[in-house]
Amino acid sequence: MHHMTLAEIARGLADKKLSSVELTQTLLARIAQLDPQINSFISLTQDLALSQAKAADERRANGESGALLGAPIAHKDLFCTQGIRTSCGSKMLDNFKAPYDATVVAKLAAAGAVTLGKTNMDEFAMGSANESSWYGAVKNPWNLEHVPGGSSGGSAAAVAARLLPAATATDTGGSIRQPAAFTNLTGLKPTYGRVSRWGMIAYASSLDQGGPLARTAEDCAILLQGMAGFDPNDSTSIDEPVPDYSAGLNGSLQGLRIGVPKEYFSAGLDPRIAELIHNSIKELEKLGAVIKEISLPNMQHAIPAYYVIAPAEASSNLSRFDGVRFGYRCENPENLEDLYKRSRGEGFGSEVQRRIMVGAYALSAGYYDAYYLKAQKIRRLVKNDFMSAFNEVDIILGPTTPNPAWKLGAKSSDPVAAYLEDVYTITANLAGLPGLSMPAGFVDGLPVGVQLLAPYFQEGRLLNVAHQYQLNTDWHTRTPTGF
């Protein structure tokens, strides 16, 4: 039962071949048995899951239907869940029970999805390896000595290990697409504003976007359908109709113009990954796509710009964690200043502290123009590059990451080395564009992802291309040994 995709589960439930309660019990038992190896969950919500499953079975018995009705999922632990710990992977919020549900959580619950638990993540979503979590590192099911990617490493590892079919995640600079690539999943970062950020604990508000992580594009379509849509509670949510993503999966790729940026194949890319990307291009050509070389000339400036903008926004967003209103408070503070200093010094881990300091520095009066303003100008140039590219092509294709998943600990003492691994993903966040990563093969037994980017609100196009690719390849069906 644990090998079923969301689409298969939906069919099984509709045909009464299985019940949501039965499925939920099976998966909870599987999590109890296998998760100690990978540490993908921070909290399990067994009681909630079983009551939601029972309610979903009753709704189906009363004639209701829907692809998510009775489907087991989990939420990255930065989506607020009412009455349930929402830790953001941090000691700071270890004792925080959210007073309300995030819009994404509420929408999925209303659609009948069953929440099995909250997944592990890099602290405050800062990282690319899921090693900065206060709850310990997550292991990659494909090789337990390697990282699963981050910051949505818990959601990715759990789905890859077949502990559940799909999970929510968020992507500020690649945190859906990069862990998808590292664990052989399909992950989609929607257009900025497509999925509500209300109740999603903020890292960098102008870049953060929630989205689905699953094994197939078909399942991403199902989960995104439940997540997307206008939310008056989020001032950056966009009031655009949500298309039927599943209905769009079967469009033909005949004549689809795919742009391949020449800058993607520079010295930093592992040549074995480059070869797999070329294979995926050939596969799409067989399906009728036309390939065109394009250029994204400002791509080289994206990492420095991102690593100014994201910490700047983080330093502002994280100022609310002060030991007073919620979260961790130090023991016996001597005075108010001591309370602030020690609560933040003890509650935040070192990567979070580093980013707060970098961000506060970049925003300070004397350096604002030199760093923050400059970074914002680069951001516009990156966006302009994409706008001119999309005048000529329908999607852009390339690697999701320059290297496969590295060994646990390999980059923990060198943060910049980890930042450089984000080179292919962060540009989509800077521009606000949708991006998808899908399985494209293996290097040394570790999965490799191919990334597709599309114009604003063309999530459906990404899912269509990925689905057609997956109908003609079997990388996404491979299962890690032992799971």
Catalytic residues: 76, 151, 175
Does 428 engage in binding with ligand GLN (CB under 6 A)?
no
Smallest separation (angstroms) from ligand GLN to the CB of 241: 27
Choice from 174, 190, 347, 460 touching ligand GLN (CB under 6 A): 174
- Which residues in the 302-321 window bind ligand GLN by CB under 6 A? 310
Q: How far is the CB of 74 from ligand GLN (least distance, A)?
A: 17
Q: Closest separation between CB of residue 126 and ligand GLN, Å?
A: 5
Report cis status (omega within 30 of 0) of the bond before 266. no
H or E stretch at 282: helix 271-286
Query: Strand, helix or coil at 308?
Result: helix
Q: Work out the burial of residue 376: count CB atoms within 10 Å of its CB; fewer than 13 is exposed, 13-18 middle, 19 or more buried.
A: middle
Which is closer to ligand GLN, CB of 190 or CB of 441? 190
Query: Measured from the CB atom, is 14 or 410 closer to ligand GLN?
Result: 410
Give, to the nearest 10 degrees, the angle between helix 374-392 and helix 302-317: 120
Contact between 175 and ligand GLN by CB under 6 A: the answer reads yes
- Closest approach of ligand GLN to the CB of residue 127, in Å: 5
Strands 186-189 and 210-214, by their bridges, are antiparallel
Interaction of residue 229 with ligand GLN, rule CB under 6 A: no
Q: Which is nearer to ligand GLN, 6 or 159 (CB)?
A: 159
Instruction: Tell me the C-alpha distance between 385 and 452, whole Å.
Output: 16
CA-closest candidate to residue 121, choices 156, 83, 94? 156
Q: Hey, what are 197's tokens? A: 């950020």
Residues 196-215 that bind ligand GLN (CB under 6 A): 203
Of 38-46, 165-173, 250-258, 385-393, the segment contacting ligand GLN by CB under 6 A is 165-173
Residue 40 binds ligand GLN, judged by CB under 6 A: no
Q: Is 151 a residue that touches ligand GLN (CB under 6 A)?
A: yes
- For ligand GLN, the binding residues in 92-131 under the rule CB under 6 A are 125-128
Those residues whose C-beta lies under 8 Å from the C-beta of residue 20, and which sit 6 or more positions away, are 13, 52, 53, 54, 56, 57, 60, 69, 70, 71, 72, 114
User: In angstroms, what is the minimal distance from the CB of 355 to ligand GLN?
Assistant: 8
- Residue closer to ligand GLN by CB (options 72, 179) is 179
Smallest separation (angstroms) from ligand GLN to the CB of 334: 34
> What separation in angstroms does the CA of 249 have from each of 182, 426, 465?
24, 26, 8
- Per residue in 288-315, is it b (16+ CB within 10 Å) or e — as a string? ebebeebebebbebbbebbbbbbbbbbb
Q: Which residues bind ligand GLN (CB under 6 A)?
A: 125-128, 151, 171-175, 203, 310, 422
